[in-house]
């Protein structure tokens, strides 16, 4: 694999090369990797399995210590490759709360934020 990111890269079985591909990818490619699965109701309604996660979506946490918790997306950070959710925080020893960043693959979208016109067009295409 080359030193710089290559859009023609086909793939590899080696985890180190897979991680390197994601780490060196530009933000427009990382955005496409930010998809989360839809709930069964939304899958039947829209005919899609995954959707790129956005601020304001209502999600259910599927993995980790906050499993089964339903909350809203507060912030999406493409540079850090994490999603920050409301009411999901770790309490430090001094008593302060720190937001707990989650990977979008560990979330399931229950409600979509349809305020954006471009997002509505994505679902109207089919």
- As a three-state string, the secondary structure of 69-102 is CEEEEEEEECCCCEEEECCCEEECCCCCEEECCE
- Residue 69 domain flag: yes
Two tokens at 49? 């399995």
> What is the C-alpha to C-alpha distance for residues 50 and 45, in angstroms, rounded to an integer?
13
Give me the CATH number covering residue 75. 2.30.30.30
- Residue 74 domain flag: yes
Q: How many structural domains is the chain composed of?
A: 1
Per-residue pLDDT tens listing for the chain (126 residues)? 556 778 788 889 999 988 888 888 998 888 888 899 999 999 999 999 999 999 999 999 999 999 999 999 999 999 899 999 999 999 999 999 999 999 999 999 999 999 989 888 888 886
Two tokens at 80? 């850090």
Q: Which structural domain range is residue 85 located in?
A: 36-124
- Residue 23 domain flag: no
- Residue 101 domain flag: yes
């Amino acid at each position: 694999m080359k030193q710089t990111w290559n859009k023609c890269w086909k793939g590899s079985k080696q985890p180190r090369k897979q991680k390197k591909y994601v780490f060196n990818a530009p933000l427009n490619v990382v955005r496409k990797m930010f998809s989360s699965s839809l709930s069964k109701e939304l899958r039947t309604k829209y005919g899609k399995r995954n959707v790129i996660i956005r601020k304001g979506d209502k999600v259910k946490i599927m993995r980790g210590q906050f499993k089964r918790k339903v909350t809203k997306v507060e912030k999406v950070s493409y540079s850090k490759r994490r999603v920050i959710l409301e009411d999901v925080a770790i309490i430090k020893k001094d008593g302060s709360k720190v937001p707990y960043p989650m990977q979008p693959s560990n979330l399931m979208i229950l409600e979509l934020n349809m305020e954006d016109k471009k997002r509505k067009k994505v679902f109207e295409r089919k």
